[in-house]
Amino acid sequence: MKPYRVWILIALVVLVPAVQASAAEPYQIGLSAAITGPAAATYAPTFDAYKAYFKRVNDAGGINGHPVEILVEDDRGEPSRAAANAKKFSEGVIAVVVASTSATYNPFLVESETGKIPLLFGGGVCPPRAFPPAAPLVFCSTSFGAQWDSRFAIGFIKQRAGGKKVKVGFVAQNIPISQSEMVFAKNLAGEQGLEALDVVVVPGGTADLTPFASRIKESGAEWVLSWAPWPIEIGVFEALNRIGWNGNYLLYAHQQAQADLTRLKAPNLLGFGGNSFFSENLPIHRQIIDAVKGVTTHSPDFMAEGWVSAMVIEAGLRKCGWPCGKEKLAQALTSVSVDTKGVRGGPIEWTTDNHYRKNTYYKVSNLFYFKGAIVSVADWTRLEVK
């Protein structure tokens, strides 16, 4: 054998596996979600959305030639499990995604700061550190955000009241973020010339919500605003309905809203939210429906939060290139602009000091009997987040 052929052979033996190994090396992202436990109905769909989303991405060749590997841990919405997951993710992953209850946030925030790991909240409520001025490593793609949601909701009620000083009741769950949001909304309502009633705080897991509903009804509330986990929001409305209350009920339209608005067919139930309903049947909705077929037991409209969160991660990784470390990814995320293709009212754009979004969009929907379908009461409204 001629010497140059020997060298080619040696080069092939040494380099080909190295190139293959490099091509196969994945981007590793940690995902901690409440896949089981009392909050699973809200957060488990995010896990399914991630599975479906990155299967598509990987099947199409990955990102920058590398597959994305999602390392999943179930935290059941419990702080102790979250702490264990945060420790587990502190080595090896380049970013951590949290889709769980706010009670689990602290261990991730601590671990993120210690290990300099970018942290994305995708499905659970956005922590204050994602809002301007944002902490360098904390990001949030979730559609709902404290204070901005109430600003929109109170403005909507005021507009609907048409200058009348209507009585507005507030429903929160006994978790700090929900309670403080409804206190904020109550103060805002007072400032805006509405008659703000007391905030009714409902313990999570309460089986019978009728006494809470009676309290609201007897206070004379004409409007009720609720910003809480879905079972409380919708549960109090149903309890009010059962005792014959006729006012208007405005709630944050979490992912379960489409199913429940359709089920209840209540003209006085209005949902405002940052995600479009799948009943709009946009191309992106059809794409999600196809992607999650056979992957989840949840309805495709439960995938919106997880899907958007996965879109953001994909955009960050594309920008980060290869190799992509924690620091480089954090840097990349601070300037992403993600076209959500209609899942949201506009793009998710982050800047160095705003990791929530430059603009947030809301739409209000309800279900009219005569149309038999969910319809928008008001089209997208943009609020600038400063």
Partner 1 sequence: MQTVAGIIVLASLYVLLGVGYVLIYRASRVLNLAQGDLMMFGGYALFAAATSVAAAPLVAIPLALAVSGMAGFLIYILLMSRMAGHPVFAAVLVTVSLGILLRVGVVLLFTDQLRYPLQVMALTNPPLHLGRGVTVSMIDALSVTAAVVVMAALVLFLRGSTLGIQMRAAGERPLLAAQRGINFQLLFALSWALASLTGGVAGVLYASNVRLDPSLGVFGLKAFAVALVGGLDSLGGLVPAAILVAAVEVLTIRFGNPLLAEVSPFLCLLAMLLVRPWGFAGTREELERV
Contact letters for partner 1, residues 118-157 (x by CB under 8 A): ----------------------------------------
* Positions 42 through 81 that interact with partner 1 (CB under 8 A): 44
Task: Name the CA dihedral angle for 302, 305, 307, 308, rounded to a multiple of 10 degrees.
Answer: 150
Residue 354 engages partner 1 in binding (rule: CB under 8 A): no
| Selected binder of partner 1 within 62, 118, 235, 273 (CB under 8 A) | 235
Residue 218 engages partner 1 in binding (rule: CB under 8 A): yes
37 CB neighbour count, 10 Å cutoff: 17
Tell the smallest beta-carbon distance from residue 75 to partner 1 (Å). Answer: 15
CA 204 distance to own-chain centroid: 20
Residue 9 engages partner 1 in binding (rule: CB under 8 A): no
In terms of phi and psi (left: phi > 0; alpha: psi -120 to 50; beta: otherwise), the region of 146 is: beta
Tell the smallest beta-carbon distance from residue 202 to partner 1 (Å). Answer: 7
Residue 351 engages partner 1 in binding (rule: CB under 8 A): no
CB proximity list for 301: less than 8 A, separation 6 or greater: 255, 258, 259, 277, 278, 285
Nearer to partner 1, 3 or 244 (CB): 244
Residue 243 engages partner 1 in binding (rule: CB under 8 A): yes
Burial 25-35 (b: 16+ CB within 10 A, else e): eebebbbbbbb
Nearer to partner 1, 198 or 379 (CB): 198
| Selected binder of partner 1 within 241, 287, 331, 376 (CB under 8 A) | 241
279 class by beta-carbon count within 10 Å (0-12 exposed, 13-18 middle, 19+ buried) = middle
Half-sphere exposure of 347 (CA within 13 A, CB side): 9
CA angle in degrees (0–180, nearest 5) for 8-11-17: 135
| Interface stretch with partner 1, choices 66-74, 162-170, 195-203, 355-363 (CB under 8 A) | 195-203
CA–CA separation, 190 vs 365, rounded Å?
25
| Interface stretch with partner 1, choices 103-111, 230-238, 316-324, 332-340 (CB under 8 A) | 230-238
Residue 263 engages partner 1 in binding (rule: CB under 8 A): yes
Residue 202 engages partner 1 in binding (rule: CB under 8 A): yes
Tell the smallest beta-carbon distance from residue 296 to partner 1 (Å). Answer: 10
41 to 75, 118, 328: CA distances (angstroms): 14, 26, 34
| Interface stretch with partner 1, choices 19-27, 66-74, 242-250, 275-283 (CB under 8 A) | 242-250
274 to 102, 220, 288, 348: CA distances (angstroms): 19, 30, 17, 11
250 to 153, 176, 334, 336, 339: CA distances (angstroms): 8, 20, 33, 32, 28
Contact letters for partner 1, residues 157-186 (x by CB under 8 A): -----------------x------------
- Positions touching partner 1 (CB under 8 A) are 36, 38, 40-41, 44, 174, 200-203, 205-212, 214-215, 217-218, 231, 235, 238-239, 241-244, 256, 263, 297-298
